[in-house]
Amino acid sequence: MSPTLTTFLFEAANFLVLAAVLGWLFFKPVRRALADRREKFESDNRQAAQKLAEAEKTQQEINETRAKLQAELNEMRTREMETARQQADQILREARSAAAREREMSHRLAAQMSGTQRDILAEVSAAAAADTVGRLLRQIGGPALQSALVASACEQLRSLPQDGVAPVKVESSQPLSPDQLASLKNALGAAADTADFRTVDGLGDGVRVSTGKGLIDASVGGLVQFASQSLVKEMSNRANSQQPMQSIQDA
């Protein structure tokens, strides 16, 4: 056999065998693996799509539930807030009324306290003023004051009506001089006959004449007492008219 012919035949057979073996060992299994992979991919895709759809459905359900819960929550919150507001209003109202009551009470207490203190203050100041006046009068005291006071009493007695003056009681701490006695009797007029002259302590200079029409006090003690009383009265009047509670309420 010629080498060329054998080569020709060998190559043809070689290629046919190669093609057969390659087709059997390589192309067919690889093709099958490819088909398997493609099928697997497709089934995976299908499953993925299915799962995606399920997931979307679940997501939608979750969203709906969440929206419902949100609505309920909002409603509850609104209700709670309303209740809380009402409670707060009530508590505020109670607190306000309690505070008002408290304030009222404290005002009243303060007014009471201030009234008492005012009275005490008035009395103290009146006593101090009276004491001052008394001491002043006593320092300038003497026969001149005595005669002036008696002249003043005589003046007042003369201004009284003549009827019903008796019984007359004339009191003095210092002994009266005859001039003074005569002027008093002159001032008393008809009632001088029944007049009772006596000497008492505590009046200082001056005289105190008590008649049927009233008391005429022209003594230092009486003046002091009168000054004190009038001061207290004046202060209490002033306090009532000024309404000191007003200022406390404003504070």
Partner 1 sequence: MNLRIFGDPILFQLGPIPITETMVTSAVVTVILLAVAILMRSLVRSWPQHWLSVLAFLVVESFDNLVEEIVGRRHALVATFAGSMFLFIAFCNIAGQLPGVHPATGNLATTSALAAVVFLSVPIAGIQSNGLWGYIKHYFRPNPLLMPLHVISELSRTLALAVRLFGNIMSGHLLVGLLVALAGFLVPTPIMALDLLIGLLQAYIFSILSTVYIGAAISAGEE
Q: Which residues bind partner 1 (CB under 8 A)?
A: 1, 3-12, 14-19, 21-23, 25-31, 33-34, 37
| Backbone phi, psi, residue 171, to 5° | -120, 145
Distance, in Å, from the CA atom of 220 to the CA atom of 240, rounded to the nearest integer, reads 30
CB 45 → partner 1: shortest distance, Å? 18
User: Which is closer to partner 1, CB of 31 or CB of 135?
Assistant: 31
Pairing mode, strands 196-199 and 169-172? parallel
User: Which is closer to partner 1, CB of 12 or CB of 84?
Assistant: 12
List of residues 6+ apart from 180 with CB closer than 8 A? 146, 147, 150
CB 43 → partner 1: shortest distance, Å? 16
Helices 143-159, 178-188: inter-axial angle, 10-degree rounding = 10
CB 55 → partner 1: shortest distance, Å? 28
Q: Within 13 Å of residue 235, how many CA atoms lie on the same side as its CB?
A: 20
CB 46 → partner 1: shortest distance, Å? 20
CB 51 → partner 1: shortest distance, Å? 24
User: Which is closer to partner 1, CB of 13 or CB of 148?
Assistant: 13
User: Which is closer to partner 1, CB of 42 or CB of 104?
Assistant: 42
User: Which is closer to partner 1, CB of 19 or CB of 113?
Assistant: 19
Of the candidates 52, 48, 71, 49, the residue with the CA atom closest to the CA atom of residue 60 = 52
How long a stretch of residues is the chain?
251
Of the candidates 174, 170, 173, the residue with the CA atom closest to the CA atom of residue 143 = 174
CB 20 → partner 1: shortest distance, Å? 9
Q: Is 189 left (phi over 0), alpha (psi -120 to 50) or beta?
A: left
User: Which is closer to partner 1, CB of 25 or CB of 62?
Assistant: 25
CB 42 → partner 1: shortest distance, Å? 16
Query: How far is the CA of 63 from the CAs of 15, 55, 60, 68, 190, in angstroms?
Result: 67, 12, 5, 9, 121
User: Which is closer to partner 1, CB of 37 or CB of 103?
Assistant: 37
| Backbone phi, psi, residue 196, to 5° | -110, 115
Secondary structure tally for the chain: helices H, strands E: 6, 4
